[in-house]
Amino acid sequence: MTHPARFAFLTFVVGLVLCGAGIAVFTGSPSAPDALVFHNGTIRTVSGAGTVEALYIQDGRIAAIGDLDEVLAAAPRSVRRINLEGGTLTPGLIEPHTHPLAAALLATATDISGRTYQTREAIMTAIAEGAAQGGPSPWAISFGWDPVMLDDLHPPSLAELDALSPDKPLVVLTQMMHEAFANSAALEASGITAATPDPHDGFFERDETGALTGRVVEVTAVRLLMSGIPQASEAALTFLLDGAYDEYAAAGYTTIGVASLVGRARDPLTTLMSVSHADRPAINTILYTAPDQAGRAAPLFAGAAQTDALRRFNGIKVWLDGSPFVGGAATAEPYADTPLTRDVLGLEPGWLAPLAAEREALFSLVERAQRAGQQVAFHAQGERAIALALDAIEAARGASPDPDLHHRLEHLALITPEQITRARSLNVSLGFFPDHIGNYGHRLDALFGPERATRYMPIAEAVRQGAVTTIHGDHPASTIDAFRVMALPVHRLTLDESPLGQPVSGETALILMTLNAARQLQLDDEIGSLEVGKRADLTWFDTDPVTAIEAGTDAAVRGTWLAGQPVDTRDWSRDRIGLAIKAAWGQLTR
Ligand SMILES: [Zn+2]
CA dist 233 → 16, 217, 391, 539, 588 (Å): 19, 28, 42, 34, 9
How much distance in Å is there from the Cα of 320 to the middle of ligand 1? 12
> What distance in angstroms lies between residue 223's CA and the mean position of ligand 1's atoms?
14
> Does residue 9 contact residue 572 with C-beta atoms inside 8 Å?
no
What pLDDT was estimated at residue 19?
Answer: 40
What one-character-per-residue DSSP string does 336-364 give? P-SHIIIIIS-PPTT--PPPSS-HHHHHH
What distance in angstroms lies between residue 419's CA and the mean position of ligand 1's atoms? Answer: 21
Distance 264 CA to ligand 1 centre (A): 15
Give 259 Cα–ligand 1 centroid separation in angstroms: 6
CA 97 to ligand 1 centroid distance, Å: 6
Distance 99 CA to ligand 1 centre (A): 6
Separation of CA 262 and ligand 1 centre (Å): 9
pLDDT at 232: 80
pLDDT at 278: 87
Region 82-108: what's the mean pLDDT? 95
Chain centroid to CA 433: how far?
A: 10
pLDDT surpassing 70 at residue 495 = yes
Q: Work out the average pLDDT over 230-248.
A: 90
Q: Cα of 338 to ligand 1 centre, how many Å?
A: 28
Q: How far is the CA of 378 from the centre of ligand 1 (A)?
A: 10
Under 8 Å between Cβ of 313 and 296: no
**Do the Cβ atoms of 383 and 331 come closer than 8 Å?**
yes
Q: Is 388 exposed, middle or buried (0-12, 13-18, 19+ CB in 10 A)?
A: buried
Per-residue pLDDT of 180-211, as tens digits, reads: 999 999 999 999 999 999 998 889 999 999 99
pLDDT at 493 over 70: yes
Q: Which residue has the higher pLDDT, 330 or 150?
A: 330
Contact 114, 175 (CB under 8 A): yes
Structure confidence at residue 148 (pLDDT)? 86
Instruction: Calculate what percentage of the chain has a pLDDT beyond 70.
Output: 90
Q: Say which DSSP state 264 is in.
A: -
In angstroms, rounded to a whole number, what is the distance separating the alpha carbons of residues 288 and 317?
A: 6
Q: Three-class SS of residue 83?
A: strand
Q: What's residue 301's pLDDT?
A: 85
CA of 84 to the centre of ligand 1 (A): 35
Report the separation in Å between the CA atom of 176 and the middle of ligand 1, taken as the mean of its atom positions: 9
Least confident among 25-39, 40-54, 182-196: 25-39
For residue 379, the cross-strand partners are: 319, 410
Top mean-pLDDT range of 175-184, 215-224, 463-472: 463-472
User: What DSSP line would sit under 272-337, residue for residue?
Assistant: HHHHHTSSS-SSEEEEEE-GGGHHHHHHHHHHSPP-SS-EEEEEEEEESS--GGGT----SSPPP-
Count CA atoms closer than 13 A to 519's CA, side-chain side: 19
Cα(350) to centroid of ligand 1, in Å?
27
| E strand residue ranges, 73-149 | 80-83, 88-91, 93-98, 110-111, 140-145
Count of all residues that appear for the chain in the document: 590
φ, ψ at 312 (rounded to 5°): -140, 150
Q: How many Å lie between the centroid of ligand 1 and the Cα of residue 453?
A: 22
Ligand 1 centroid vs 474 CA: distance in angstroms?
5
Name, in order, each residue with C-beta under 8 angstroms of 4's C-beta and a sequence gap of 6 or more: 134
Percent pLDDT > 90 in the chain is 75
Mean predicted lDDT score pLDDT of the chain:
90
Q: Residue 118 pLDDT > 70, yes or no?
A: yes
13 against 185, higher pLDDT: 185
Q: What is the pLDDT of residue 134?
A: 66
Does residue 1 surpass a pLDDT of 50?
no
Residues 6+ apart with CB under 8 A from 139: 168, 169, 170, 171, 186, 189, 228, 229, 230
- Ligand 1 centroid – CA 477 distance (Å): 8
Amino acid in position 332: A
**Across 475-492, average pLDDT:** 96
- What residues have their beta carbon closer than 5 A to ion ligand 1? 259, 474
Cα(117) to centroid(ligand 1), Å = 24
Distance 59 CA to ligand 1 centre (A): 35
Q: Please give the distance, rounded to the nearest whole angstrom, from the Cα atom of residue 98 to the centre of ligand 1.
A: 6
Show Cβ contacts of residue 477 under 8 Å, excluding neighbours closer than 6 positions: 175, 176, 177, 433, 435
Q: For residues 286 and 149, which has the higher predicted lDDT (pLDDT)?
A: 286
Query: Of the ranges 6-10, 132-136, 305-309, 546-550, which one carries the lowest mean pLDDT score?
Result: 6-10
User: Over the stretch 123-141, which tens digit does the pLDDT of each residue have?
Assistant: 999 999 999 886 656 899 9
For residue 319, the CA-to-ligand 1 centroid distance in Å is: 9
- How remote is the CA of residue 163 from the centroid of ligand 1, in Å? 33
**CA nearest to 126, candidates 139, 115, 138, 116:** 116
Cα(177) to centroid(ligand 1), Å = 10
Contacts of 466 (CB under 8 A, 6+ apart): 424
Q: Give burial (CB, 10 Å; 0-12/13-18/19+) of 514.
A: buried
Please report, for the chain, the start and end positions of each structural domain, with discontinuous segments joined by +. Answer: 100-226, 320-480
- Rounded Cα distance, 201 and 353, in Å: 9
pLDDT for the residue 9: 46
Q: Which is the CATH superfamily of the domain at 320-480?
A: Metal-dependent hydrolases (3.20.20.140)
Q: How far is the CA of 314 from the centre of ligand 1 (A)?
A: 16
pLDDT at 15 over 70: no
Output the CA 22–ligand 1 centroid distance in Å: 38
Instruction: Give CA–CA dist 356/289, Å, rounded.
Output: 17
* Cβ atoms < 10 Å from Cβ of 1: 19
Q: Report how far ligand 1's centroid is from the alpha carbon of 408 (Å).
A: 13
Residues 140-154, mean pLDDT to the nearest whole number:
88
Q: How far apart are the CA of 213 and the centre of ligand 1, in A? A: 27
pLDDT digits (tens, 9 = 90+) for 253-300: 999 999 998 777 778 999 999 999 888 899 999 999 999 999 999 998
* Cα 70 to middle of ligand 1, angstroms: 44
* Sequence-distant (≥ 6) Cβ neighbours of residue 405 within 8 angstroms: 370, 373, 374, 375, 522
- Please give the pLDDT value at position 569: 78
The string of pLDDT tens digits covering residues 379-399 is 999 999 999 999 999 999 999
CA of 490 to the centre of ligand 1 (A): 22
Ligand 1 centroid to residue 107 C-alpha, Å: 16
> What is the rounded CA–CA span in Å between residue 220 and residue 41?
49
For residue 201, report the distance from its CA to the centre of ligand 1, in Å. 16
- What is the 224 CA–ligand 1 centroid distance (Å)? 18
Q: What's the maximum distance between 2 C-alpha atoms anywhere in the chain?
A: 82
* Domain 100-226 coded CATH 3.90.1150.10: no
Q: How far is the CA of 56 from the centre of ligand 1 (A)?
A: 36
Per-residue pLDDT band at 584 (split at 50, 70, 90): low
Q: What's the CA-to-centroid distance between 424 and ligand 1, angstroms?
A: 22
Distance 8 CA to ligand 1 centre (A): 33
Q: From the CA of 533, how far away is ligand 1's center (Å)? A: 32
pLDDT tens digits for 299-309?
988 877 666 89
Distance 151 CA to ligand 1 centre (A): 25
Q: Respond yes or no on whether the N-terminal peptide bond of residue 147 is cis (omega within 30° of 0).
A: no
